[in-house]
Amino acid sequence: MPEGDALFRTARTLDRALAGHTVIRFESVFPALTRIDEDAPVVGRTVDRATAMGKHLLIHFSGALVLRTHMRMSGSWHLYRSGEAWQRPAWDYRILIETDTFIAVAFNVPVAEFLAGRALARQRDLRALGPDLLGESFDVGEALKRLRARNTETIEAALLDQRVVAGIGNIYKSEVLFASRVHPQTPVAELSDEQLLGILERARRWMRANVHPSTAAAIVTHPGLRTATGRADHADGVWVYGRAGRPCRRCGTRIVSAKTGPHVRTTYWCPHCQPAPA
């Protein structure tokens, strides 16, 4: 599943490419989308904007119509010029939105729906989201409250729950907990408010750094490199994620990993820098 910063950058890229332009072609393999398109055609509408809410991507059209997509593990949005070859096979396509300048194609997106009028505010998954780490405002008090409501859970599980705080994925979970010197299987109840606030602050700071607007005017169609270490080299961009069996950058101990939680997600940590809870 893409991290929140990747969705933020994708939404920003789509917004730069599509906003203010009229849709001249809309296609989808999803019957639920095509039925609504037949009744209230997307063609002829203007793309107002594209935004991200946690890991949900929203494309707003004129006439109070919103397309919500969720990438899950394998979905992605691409941008192409007319006539440009797709980088994914045609059988992976799920949604196509074309304007006079770009063609936006969603590949392997498993979740997609149109929300009309007030349905956006009532959408269950969006309403349940915790404070968004990449939102213009971030209610840290509410995020702490929601973490405390998960006191019996491990901190790694609580951070991945988008109802607690929106945006953190498997990479940031491992990286932030390493930097905070917290073992991923530590129960939330065993962490002080100061520790939890530190974890939230670091996650927000790193994610915001990784979506800092480029100074270039060109529209990019890739999410760029994610870095937690601050080093420019991509190979040095993470502390522990994906580095099982390799030496810790801080102490030299071999990084370990384990698949845990209801979704069997792999977590990485340093046994020395992040001692196991008693």
Beta pairing, strands 65-70 & 111-116: antiparallel
Q: 2, 131, 184, 223: which one is catalytic?
A: 2
Asked if 124 is an active-site residue, the reply is no
Q: 9, 12, 55, 68: which one is catalytic?
A: 55
Domain of 94, CATH number, reads: 3.20.190.10
- 23 and 85 assigned to the same domain: yes
- 116 and 40 assigned to the same domain: yes
Asked if 205 is an active-site residue, the reply is no
Q: 113, 146, 265, 271: which one is catalytic?
A: 265
- 146 and 264 assigned to the same domain: yes
List Cα–Cα distances, 230 to 3, 93, 180, 223, 236, in angstroms: 18, 35, 16, 17, 9
Looking at the domain assignment, is residue 181 inside a domain?
Answer: yes
Q: How confident is residue 270, by pLDDT bands cut at 50, 70 and 90?
A: very high
End position of a domain, from candidates 88, 106, 128: 128
End position of a domain, from candidates 107, 128, 149: 128
- pLDDT tens for 166-176 read 988 888 999 99
- For residue 49, the enclosing domain spans 4-128
Asked if 49 is an active-site residue, the reply is no
- pLDDT tens for 107-146 read 999 999 999 888 888 888 888 999 999 888 899 999 999 9
End position of a domain, from candidates 66, 100, 128: 128
Looking at the domain assignment, is residue 75 inside a domain?
Answer: yes
Q: What is the pLDDT, as a whole number, of residue 255?
A: 97
Asked if 265 is an active-site residue, the reply is yes
* Domain total in the chain: 2
Average pLDDT over residues 51-74: 90
Query: Which of these ranges, 82-86, 116-120, 227-231, has the smallest mean pLDDT?
Result: 227-231
